[in-house]
Amino acid sequence: MNELPDNPEFRCGYIAIVGRPNVGKSTLMNALIGAKVSITSRKAQTTRHRITGIQTKDNTQFVYIDTPGFQTRHANALNRTLNRTVTTTLTAADVILLIVEAGTFGAPDQQVLDLLPKNVPCILVINKSDRMKDKAIMMPFAQKVAALFPFTAVVPVSATLRFQLDNLEGEIRKHLPQNPPMFAEDDITDRSEKFLAAEIVREKLFRFVGDELPYTSTVLIEKFEQEGNLRRVFVAILVDRDGHKSMVIGNKGARLKEISTQSRIDMEKLFGGPVYLEIWVKVKSGWADNEAGLRAYGYE
């Protein structure tokens, strides 16, 4: 979709965002594009799909691909699928951002580093630098990790404080190919509203049910209708067991009500119109261990 005038200076390409779970990949992508298209939480395994975040500015279209945190623990079908998303995203990237957390580099980080192709520019992004109180530690940490791979740049950032993001964008731009834009100038993602709606509910589920709920719960949009400016969204939260169902519903339905209210507020903000939202909780066990089940729920 080339809506901008022909401009040989224009650059556009794919930027893969990879790293172990919970280092702040999704928070960083949202901060870079200035909109919340990828959900975030303090729990690991928040992102479960490849999510595109697009920003067009300064003669550049940045097409970021947020990926699930690379899984090294349980080898079930869901985790195999999540990891496949990471490896296929890497093969299509013009630039790669390896995200690590300031002060921490362990075996799960090394495993992602081992996946990096040698022929694609890769920038080491040290996120959560706001947490590193003693600035004198940053330099030796950065040097230690930088020595492990021929990174084209090393950029400490803070996604939550939006610190050093301009610097990071400048480093990325250097490596993007000269191409016309692939998306319209005001596009922020290539994902559908239906998909984004499911993600928003999943985020609230993570936030409000907290650590008690196993990560094998998921969200299914049963119906998504639009009439004028009004969206009607019918959602099923799928859990493994009866006990999990009551956790989600909460005392006298209080938790489910909170999940619904907060989801609706976020959807109205993102879609720019009123939303009618109904959420049901259903028990469906074993879906995360089953390839056919995964496909049915939208995992590639």
Ligand X SMILES: Nc1nc2c(ncn2[C@@H]2O[C@H](COP(=O)(O)OP(=O)(O)OP(=O)(O)O)[C@@H](O)[C@H]2O)c(=O)[nH]1
Query: Per rule CB under 5 A, is residue 26 in the interface with Mg ion?
Result: yes
131: partner contacted, choices ligand X, Mg ion, none (Cβ within 5-8 A by kind): ligand X
N residues, the chain: 300
Comparing CB distances to Mg ion, the nearer of 25 and 50 is 25
Nearer to Mg ion by Cβ, of 66 and 171: the residue is 66
Contacting residue, 10, 15, 16, 24, with ligand X by CB under 6 A? 24
DSSP summary character for residue 277 = E
Question: Taking CB under 6 A as the rule, does residue 46 contact ligand X?
Answer: yes
* Beta partners for residue 96, in sequence order: 16, 122
Q: Which does 71 bind (CB under 5 to 8 A by kind): ligand X, Mg ion, none?
A: none
Q: Which residue has the tokens 């995360």?
A: 288
Q: Report the C-alpha gap between 256 and 254 in whole angstroms.
A: 6
Q: Does 96 contact ligand X by CB under 6 A? A: no
Q: Give the sign of the dihedral formed by CA 84, CA 89, CA 91, CA 97.
A: negative
Residue with tokens 């999704």: 26
- Token digits for 183? 């998306």
What is the gyration radius of the CA atoms in the chain, in angstroms?
20
41 counts as binding Mg ion under rule CB under 5 A: no
Q: How far apart are CA 90 and CA 174, in angstroms?
A: 18
According to CB under 6 A, which one of 23, 176, 220, 256 is a site residue for ligand X? 23
166 labeled part of a ligand binding site: no
* Sequence ranges of the binding site: 19-26, 66-70, 127-130
Binding site for ligand X (CB under 6 A): 19, 21-27, 40-42, 44-47, 68-69, 127-128, 130-131, 158-160
